[in-house]
Structure 1
């Protein structure tokens, strides 16, 4: 029976990331046969096939793709463990990985990261700016220490701590005819071209559900994958968009502006997502404590 060796894990991660045994072997200063033996030993230990080998490229099997974030976490924990007790206790080194909605990353993180890095300059911060569903998955599988996400991205495997409510607004050009109206009505939007994000988006689901419940039907003319793209199309004059206020640029923007929407008020709840199954590292807990303290002060 083979023992799990961290050099085998490192070899697997490198082959998975580079896609070739040749490049991975060069990075590890191993011969290709020696690298192949390490991967085979890991596969025999796990009793699964992790990689599909072809003449040109190497791809992860579905099980290999599932194992990759776990392998990275195991390696990170191993590397942390050899930093020495003193460095860990005093938080001189370490890594905090945060799965964060792209729209929330700029809003929540810079000021907290600045204070955190001044206090603990040796701790690295990794931000995975991903969609709500991806962020939830990364917290559940342990690839991220915690997440900043929407309450709609829920699972029994995580717990949610709300931080703020983010209302949806109408995004439009400053020279659009609706920009001069004091109060927008849903009927105003029936004849304009609406730019929406795809139905896979948590924001789109929340919006569609709220409008459907009220019998409101809008002209969803353009569909994009990212909120930032929809803002670009609005700025180009192709239509208007209904977006969370957090995604909007500041009030001094040359071209874009926003207007409040009528009832029903549509808003998303943004907050902290933590795993119920993975224990937090002490460095991740430090960051969370600072984040929560910061937002308590902001809300006073």
Structure 2
């Protein structure tokens, strides 16, 4: 079998170009000249035996072969970096880097406290948090870009394991001057005829909401559709109408001037949990962080269940 005639720096160059979609940014990141970057790519492509990048005057794209090899090289580099840093570390706890993914609402609510607690045990571990959608979280875990993700459930995938942590209820979100805010005990039926703001049907949050509404036999009139929860909050804040959003999404700074209320008549919630690769062993720092997350979710006050009308 022929030996693979390329170096570690060749792999780092390719991953940097693929992630930044730019030879210039890769050169600046790795402190190399652009000609040196080009030679490294050519050497790697010659070893692999096929082009990995398509370069035009304005952008850089991965070829099918490049798309296939990128997650493999990324995972190899991250595992190598963590192993080398662990060997070089001194003291009781190893040094290294921990990368996780998280949906934004979970990032805002729980990660600051648990990361502070993790830092007391693993002072030399650098942490990178990828703020992603539920679909992007699953892809980051699947490709090895993140050790695990705090996210919504995913469709059946033999390579991934999902462990539920908590249910996050949907409720009314409105401005303080909205007539709905004056209702002491709002119900789903109070939303009839409202010009409601929502997220688009392709999102994990909308999928969970639609499924819960269908089970409860509730029909709502969506008037404005956006891509992100933060955009929905912005439209509500602008006075375009109320919305139905998860409680955690309304505990961050984007919703500080808005009101969130549970809705009477049916309990509709999304599940938040941890997604990881079935075949991968978590690093000690990642395992500790998962334990801290479980404790944090368990300790949070649970909302009162919705009452039937």
Q: TM-score, normalised by structure 2?
A: 0.85
Q: Tell me the residue number matched to 2:74.
A: 72
Q: Tell me the residue number matched to 1:29.
A: 32
Contact 1:91 1:283 in 2 (8 A): no
Give the distance between the partners of 2:276 and 2:22, measured in 1 at CA: 35
- Deviation at 1:111? 0.7
Give the alignment of 1:28-107 within 5 angstroms.
28-30=31-33, 32=35, 34-83=36-85, 85=87, 87=89, 90-107=92-109
Q: Tell me the residue number matched to 2:209.
A: 207
> Cα–Cα, structure 1 residues 249 and 58, in superposed 2: closer, same or farther, change >3 Å?
closer
Moved more, 47-56 or 116-125: 47-56
Give the distance between the partners of 2:263 and 2:122, measured in 1 at CA: 43
Aligned-residue RMSD, C-alpha = 2.7
- Deviation at 1:63? 3.7
Contact 1:145 1:280 in 2 (8 A): yes
> Cα–Cα, structure 1 residues 169 and 294, in superposed 2: closer, same or farther, change >3 Å?
closer
Residue deviations 1:142-194, cap 9 Å, x none?
11000111235553322222221111111011221122223323332121111
Moved more, 230-239 or 184-193: 184-193
Q: Tell me the residue number matched to 1:119.
A: 121
How many positions carry a matched residue from both structures?
Answer: 298
Give the distance between the partners of 1:36 and 1:196, measured in 2 at CA: 46
Contact 1:88 1:94 in 2 (8 A): no
Give the distance between the partners of 1:235 and 1:186, measured in 2 at CA: 21
Q: Secondary structure at the match of 2:266?
A: coil
Q: Tell me the residue number matched to 1:284.
A: 286
Q: Tell me the residue number matched to 2:164.
A: 162
Q: Tell me the residue number matched to 1:188.
A: 190
Contact 1:132 1:153 in 2 (8 A): no
Moved more, 16-25 or 198-207: 16-25
> Cα–Cα, structure 1 residues 240 and 288, in superposed 2: closer, same or farther, change >3 Å?
same
Residue deviations 1:240-272, cap 9 Å, x none?
11001111138xx77411222133310112111
Q: TM-score, normalised by structure 1?
A: 0.87
Consecutive unaligned residues of structure 2, counting only runs of 5 or more, are 303-309
Contact 1:166 1:244 in 2 (8 A): yes
Q: Tell me the residue number matched to 1:16.
A: 18
Give the distance between the partners of 2:32 and 2:154, measured in 1 at CA: 47
Contact 1:133 1:153 in 2 (8 A): no
Give the distance between the partners of 1:296 and 1:185, measured in 2 at CA: 28
> Cα–Cα, structure 1 residues 62 and 197, in superposed 2: closer, same or farther, change >3 Å?
farther
Q: Tell me the residue number matched to 1:129.
A: 131
Moved more, 53-62 or 215-224: 53-62
- Deviation at 1:20? 4.2
